[in-house]
Structure 1
């Protein structure tokens, strides 16, 4: 048995997760996600993982990358959290090239849960996922991870329309043919106009905390709509309890150097089975999550 195998057997590093942030996601620098990391630490313990927060007072991605790489031997995996897009994705690509331990973004687990939700919606609508049409409005840190997960689980990229705030007129036209509208960041008046143009029984996914105040107003505009707020799939709940920790736990136990696309796809498809007949999302802290990842 070599030294690395002895270290894995007898040291606790394989249970330690470094949560690295600079707090730029909400632009208050490194202190902005401290409370969040403390909150999810107990949830991550369900997978036998210990969270160690590393708050870096820098916006320089190269400095953050060097810090992560230099500390990797003290941890079993790395979670990148609270770093503004596109910087978080650039940092992920940078560290992947040098790390010998798994690394994921905070939003990756959220995207896995959203993927499971969309698979259940396709079942509810009796449509194949590759036949469903999606309209994505606005942009935030979550959008890229969600789209990547959407394509992994089988959505047709040619049936996904993505519009930023300047593309309102085209979005309003595309809404006539959309099965699911995912709103990442958009003005309410534009969302309202688009909601009015949607076909019967539409699905609206509001994928930002900033949109929570609009739920009741949209429900009045479209009482037949199924509205899924971000609070029901946010990282503090479904992701933290079902996706993030068990993805890392599985990768660490198998001594993998990275989280693979097949693992992410399998995670979404497995979570589908957890939802009950009257739910699109699995319940928080479902004990079966330990057997999925």
Structure 2
């Protein structure tokens, strides 16, 4: 069978789709039924009516995330609409559950009116412990996320923006360390000016990149001061005073290429104009802006990362969102703020340099060893230590930054609970 047919069979055989609802309490006897519904269900209802925080103890809310989209920017498929996006949203639910034991309802909204989208999600707040926005086109994604953050008292996280930023940020820190470059001194060039590129640029600045050292290109070329079509748009934030006008111009002397655009737009000749020991993050999927082989041939001293699993240093959002939400939910966070995102980045960066990679991970990737270095700058998604380290430090950052609504009295015990969870879901 072809890959297409295999994938279709995977989704259609047996129970269609990839997720289902299961019971977390027994319901076999008359007494079970009386607890599960009437009359017993009235007791937790009364407690929650007296104290809304009691919902965390008596309902699934504190471990339930909504994955919500309008289907306007789905993977590399574009605006395919909400119904066609449903397999992707179910897949996101699979990853939440598989990697962090977070439950998910996927919601595909049949509207492209940003305000209608916002009102709908706002009305759903009582159901969920967090909101994961997914595959919403720019610029609406910025407006939607910002408005929902203002209106809701639960975490709102647009993964297409911030997930890539968190993970590639860890790769950036470690690549700079290996290449002997200072984060504050590197010259950074972005290909792409959508939601992911903007979030990455802002996050890199929080990690120490100098704003004036960032050049960003969209499909029309470099974003520069005075370019008429960017006036009054979110792109204006990244306009620089420069004579460069093309991506090729911008890459001359650059230390880092951050690709969040489309495949095949960077050549080996362009890479050869970059600074020595360049860092190349070609993160377009499924085809990177330049292939791994071509980049390494053009600059043998480069560090290369892509979004693909068949090459070293995969920047994959599954390294972020399940564990960020795990930590946020565990302390009842009212938001996922910048401190929590930086904590997630630092946890990933540190883990790549810490201890031995578990044998189960080596076996899963067909490797005899993985050591911190040019081909291993961030952990692998299947490494169970990611759940422990990232969730732990995100939860701590939530508490320290004042957005947690529940406290953790014993952090060592919390870490042990995460270790037990990681072992249980492998």
Work out whether the TM-score is over 0.5: yes
- Alpha-carbon distance in structure 2 between the residues aligned to 1:237 and 1:215: 15
- Alpha-carbon distance in structure 1 between the residues aligned to 2:262 and 2:95: 32
Alignment partner of 1:116 out of 170, 190, 194: 170
Structure 2 partner of 1:66: 119
Conserved 8 A contact 1:243-1:267 = yes
Does residue 277 of the first structure (1) align with residue 372 of the second (2)? yes
Q: In the TM superposition, what whole-angstrom CA distance separates every residue of 1:6-38 from its partner, at most 9, and x where no partner exists? A: 211111111111011011001111034322222
Does residue 131 of the first structure (1) align with residue 185 of the second (2)? yes
What's the CA shift for 1:190? 5.6
Structure 2 partner of 1:212: 288
Conserved 8 A contact 2:184-2:210 = yes
Does residue 85 of the first structure (1) align with residue 163 of the second (2)? no
Task: Give the RMSD, CA atoms, in angstroms.
Answer: 2.5
Unaligned runs of 5+ in 2: 1-46, 223-243, 353-370, 395-426
- Alpha-carbon distance in structure 2 between the residues aligned to 1:249 and 1:187: 33
| Deviant stretches of 4+, over 6 Å | none
Where in structure 2 are the equivalents of 1:141-160 lying within 5 Å? Answer: 141-160=195-214
Does residue 166 of the first structure (1) align with residue 221 of the second (2)? yes
CA 1:5–1:213: 2 relative to 1, 3 Å: closer
Structure 1 partner of 2:155: 102
Conserved 8 A contact 1:153-1:269 = no
| Greater CA drift, 136-145 or 205-214 | 205-214
TM-score by length of 2: 0.63
Q: In the TM superposition, what whole-angstrom CA distance separates every residue of 1:165-223 from its partner, at most 9, and x where no partner exists? A: 32374543442321111122268456555223223332221121164384157337615
Q: In the TM superposition, what whole-angstrom CA distance separates every residue of 1:119-149 from its partner, at most 9, and x where no partner exists? A: 0111111222112111112323311111121
Where in structure 2 are the equivalents of 1:222-261 lying within 5 Å? Answer: 222-224=298-300, 225-232=302-309, 238-240=316-318, 242-261=319-338
What's the CA shift for 1:42? 2.8
Question: Could you say which structure has the greater relative contact order, defined with CA pairs below 8 angstroms and 6 or more residues apart?
Answer: 1
Structure 1 residue matching 2:107: 3-state secondary structure = strand
- Alpha-carbon distance in structure 2 between the residues aligned to 1:35 and 1:92: 22
Structure 2 partner of 1:48: 101
Where in structure 2 are the equivalents of 1:16-35 lying within 5 Å? Answer: 16-25=64-73, 26-35=78-87
Structure 1 residue matching 2:68: 3-state secondary structure = strand
CA 1:166–1:237: 2 relative to 1, 3 Å: closer
Structure 2 partner of 1:15: 63
| Greater CA drift, 172-181 or 107-116 | 172-181
Conserved 8 A contact 1:196-1:221 = no
Conserved 8 A contact 1:37-1:51 = no
What's the CA shift for 1:237? 7.6
Structure 2 residue matching 1:144: 3-state secondary structure = helix
Does residue 4 of the first structure (1) align with residue 52 of the second (2)? yes
| Bigger share in helix | 1
- Alpha-carbon distance in structure 1 between the residues aligned to 2:255 and 2:296: 20
- Alpha-carbon distance in structure 1 between the residues aligned to 2:317 and 2:325: 12
Structure 1 residue matching 2:184: 3-state secondary structure = helix
| Greater CA drift, 82-91 or 179-188 | 179-188
- Alpha-carbon distance in structure 1 between the residues aligned to 2:153 and 2:347: 27
TM-score by length of 1: 0.89
Number of equivalences: 290
| Greater CA drift, 213-222 or 42-51 | 213-222
